[in-house]
Structure 1
Amino acid sequence: MVLGSASILISAYLLLFLAASSLKFLIFAVLNRQKLMRLYSNTVKGVVNAIEEIFYDQQYADKVIERTLKSNKKWGARDRGFIAESVYEMVRWWRLINEVSPSEDLYHLFGTYWLLQGHHLPPWEEFEGVHVNAVKRKYEDLTSRAALQSIPDWLDEMGAELLGEEWDDEINALNEQAQVVLRANTLKTTREALMNRLQEDGVETYAPKGYPDALVLAKRQNIFRNPAFKEGLYEIQDASSQLVAQALGVEPGMRVIDACAGAGGKSLHLATLMGDKGRVLSMDIEGWKLKNTKLRARRNGISIIETRTIEDNKTIKRLKASADRLLLDVPCSGLGVLRRNPDTKWKLSPESIANVQLIQQDILQNYCSMVKPGGIMVYATCSILPTENQRQVEKFLESEKGQDFTFLDDQKVLAHESGFDGFYIARLERK
């Protein structure tokens, strides 16, 4: 579960249009040739207005793009793709764009982004003063890793301190395109059968090793309109995220609590692994996040999920020693999913990360009572920082309540090693 905007699922439509962009791609574009691609004033204006809302009005990127796309019904699929793609990539490379742009004017910033992508700028009045040679010179003069990777200085320093030599590869990977990954709903199909079904519809996928239910799209397309999706044959879930439910080792008939369930994606996976036999209690302190869980469960053919809002500590106390398995997918910085939520890095601060660490430890201390003796508790984040991950588990185990638990194992998933999102998953058993 991600802190702030990252805790909200990016809309399915927008996910299709996250652009394939990386530092290497930008270097190639700037230092080599310019591509001719026509711009249209109304869609460029849509991008500029969205960027203004995101950075000057401090709005969340996914919500801004959704509103922008709904604002003009005449825009077709290509227009919508251009807007979503351009906004997300400008957000991703915001610092770099500002470093090499001739000014902070939003049209100048868009023009600079467009040049960095290797495109030709039309002779519009709005782009006057934006020249490819000047952008190229400024780019070539940059030496700061933080500027080149388009992240705040403090984040670069924190990443280097906590991840050491791995930081270079990791931040580069987090600036690359996030793949679209499906999770086969094994209550209704198998991964192989789903792959064949999608292939018949012209959707090519491949099955990554080590992820038994995952299929990766070979090419982005609107899979949400596919009949197989409407039939509940698959969900959209990153491969790393799929490891979380698997780590709980659930079995049919168990009582499982997903205590930070959000929109219920991992609850659905848990219920599927249980063969829809037993009980999954999906809980969250923000009840509105749970609203779609029942609808998603119905589409998936799942009946064992119950949702419950955590009103106060009494809600937790009533469930003392009731769970065979407990999942704590806690709020976190979301640094492991920057490829999907690039605006996260501009909204975070050292202070916000320190504050979320307090929340993480509080959840561990207060929610652990729900596990039965002999039961398994999984602590998970979509962060890559040890201070949110193994150090939190170590701190818990050293505490009074942690003395009731035994550390079993953990998984530290880095994007540059896995090719998927960054995650951390620890398993603890109650004595």
Structure 2
Amino acid sequence: MENSRKVAVDVLINVFDRKSYSNITLDKMLNSSKLNAQDRALTTEIVYGTIKYKYTIDKIIDSFLVEGLSSLDSSILNILRISIYQIKYLDKVPNFAVVDEAVELAKKYKSKGASKLVNAVLRNYIRKPDKHSFNRFSSIDAMCSEFSFPKWLVKLFTKQYGEALTKKILKGLNERPCVTVRVNSLKASYDEVFEALQRNGYVVKEGIICPDAIMIIRGQSILKNTLFDEGYFTVQDESAMLVADSMDLCENLNVLDLCSAPGGKTTHIAEIMNNKGSIEAFDIYENKLELIQSNLIRLGINNVKCSIMDAEKYNESLKNSADRVLIDVPCSGLGIIRKKPEIKWNKSNNQLNALVKIQRNILMNASRYVKVGGSILYSTCTLNKDENENNILWFINNNTNFEIEPLYFGKGDNLLYSKEGYVTILPNEYMDGFFICKIKRLK
């Protein structure tokens, strides 16, 4: 019989060693396994929990090794990681069972000798669970240990937001995300979809901010529901829903979406425009455009044209052509760590710096495509100010024919409104971290 913990180790090897996406790898391995629903749930819990708390877990393991983490084979290291996670963060499995399972896995993956090392490390940790301790004189070290984030990222947030907000951000990024769907107004009303989901056995709740949002509190996979297949809703985080809502859309506009994949915001624009007007959706990869096209068909949308284009390269044919331009620019994704925890470990400061040039190039191109009186909507799913407000301030300082139009989404303890008019959405149980800014062309 297939073992849920072995599947978890295989997923983690792919995520940590091969930089694979956790959600894609986990889904693929679960779908090819013969695990029952309970074991699949346990595997999912172990995978995401271990990735989330990797920093703290690795510090614990390292404290019980003479030669350090680098001396371990990848499979043995990941067996130890999932075991420490279960012992420290879960209470559903007895410690002795975790140890026995880990020892058997180590024998299968490596050798009897490796299993003895695994046994020794885990039993020593159970005897001395407080052996690893952070530098109590360093608030950075304390936050790294408590929330399990790499030091460079904690330093970045602390420098940009201060210690109090950084703790709020780190806590939010560790929250378990809920599933939220956006009602397709082209096919049904909000109440009709809400009630249909209830009839289908889902426990649902109204969204926090966006009027089209429904939170799925409990129920089977929403993607396996016939309501999804028939296009009554799109799975989308509520933060992302606010992007199209910020664009001041109406029927018969000409809209450009320069970085459209995977298409959630593109389809939302079409729905708000009541399937009228013209929307051109661009992306650099053909396979991503095919994904958008399949969603357009599912949702009954026919006013969107999909085309390959690199948003960084200026396209003369689009000059002064658009009433609205959406640029949901490529970013570091630091606001969506609660859904993709491997971002903590797969990003670096150098990668963040390289993105800024790309984002500014796209923003400059968008400024040439928008008509006088039209607007650009700039958004990211990161919390790095260099990719967000610093880009906006750079653009406004160098382009006096544009101004920021203030946005307001109501009150919320995770909404940071700037005096300039842009909005930062802090991550919490219900929403991803996001940045949204609306820029109007004056002349």
Task: Check whether TM > 0.5.
Answer: yes
Cα deviation per residue 1:185-205 (whole Å; 9 max; x = unaligned)? 111112221111111111111
Structure 1 position 172, deviation (Å): 0.8
Which structure is richer in relative contact order (CA contacts within 8 A, separation 6 or more)? 1
Report the equivalent of 1:47: 8
Matched, 1:421 2:432: yes
Q: Aligned residues, how many?
A: 388
Name which one, 1 or 2, has greater alpha-carbon Rg. Answer: 2
Q: In structure 2, which of residues 40, 43, 63 is the aligned counterpart of residue 83 of structure 1?
A: 43
Q: In structure 2, which of residues 423, 427, 434 is the aligned counterpart of residue 411 of structure 1?
A: 423
Distance in 2 of aligned mates of 1:142 and 1:342: 25
One-letter amino acid of the counterpart of residue 12, structure 2: I
Structure 1 position 57, deviation (Å): 2.7
Cα deviation per residue 1:257-276 (whole Å; 9 max; x = unaligned)? 11110111100000000000
Structure-to-structure mapping, 1:308-323, within 5 angstroms: 308-310=307-309, 316-323=315-322
Distance in 1 of aligned mates of 2:234 and 2:135: 42
Structure 1 position 385, deviation (Å): 2.1
One-letter amino acid of the counterpart of residue 426, structure 1: C
In structure 1, stretches of 5+ residues that fail to align are 1-39
Distance in 1 of aligned mates of 2:257 and 2:440: 16
Structure 1 position 58, deviation (Å): 2.8
Asked if 2 retains the 8 angstrom alpha-carbon contact of 1:152 and 1:345, the reply is: yes
Q: In structure 2, which of residues 129, 133, 137 is the aligned counterpart of residue 136 of structure 1?
A: 129
Report the equivalent of 1:159: 157
Asked if 2 retains the 8 angstrom alpha-carbon contact of 1:185 and 1:235, the reply is: yes
Identity of aligned residues (%): 28
Structure 1 position 214, deviation (Å): 0.2
One-letter amino acid of the counterpart of residue 181, structure 1: T
Structure-to-structure mapping, 1:175-324, within 5 angstroms: 175-219=174-218, 221-310=220-309, 316-324=315-323
Structure 1 position 362, deviation (Å): 1.2
Asked if 2 retains the 8 angstrom alpha-carbon contact of 1:174 and 1:415, the reply is: yes
Asked if 2 retains the 8 angstrom alpha-carbon contact of 1:163 and 1:385, the reply is: no
Cα deviation per residue 1:268-309 (whole Å; 9 max; x = unaligned)? 000000000111111112232111111111111111111011
**Segments ≥4 residues shifted beyond 4 Å:** 139-143, 311-315
3-state SS of 2:148 partner = coil
In structure 2, stretches of 5+ residues that fail to align are 70-76, 107-117, 407-421
Cα 1:80–1:142 shift into 2, 3 Å: farther
Structure 1 position 220, deviation (Å): 5.1
Asked if 1 retains the 8 angstrom alpha-carbon contact of 2:47 and 2:82, the reply is: no
3-state SS of 1:244 partner = helix
One-letter amino acid of the counterpart of residue 383, structure 2: I
Cα deviation per residue 1:135-185 (whole Å; 9 max; x = unaligned)? 621356675211221111110100000011311111111111111111011
3-state SS of 2:80 partner = helix
Asked if 2 retains the 8 angstrom alpha-carbon contact of 1:142 and 1:148, the reply is: no
Q: In structure 1, which of residues 59, 62, 80 is the aligned counterpart of residue 23 of structure 2?
A: 62
Asked if 2 retains the 8 angstrom alpha-carbon contact of 1:100 and 1:135, the reply is: no
Asked if 1 retains the 8 angstrom alpha-carbon contact of 2:312 and 2:362, the reply is: no
Using structure 1 for the length normalisation, give the TM-score: 0.85
Q: CA RMSD in A?
A: 2.0
Matched, 1:96 2:56: yes
Distance in 1 of aligned mates of 2:301 and 2:362: 28
One-letter amino acid of the counterpart of residue 234, structure 1: F
One-letter amino acid of the counterpart of residue 404, structure 1: N
Asked if 1 retains the 8 angstrom alpha-carbon contact of 2:254 and 2:277, the reply is: yes
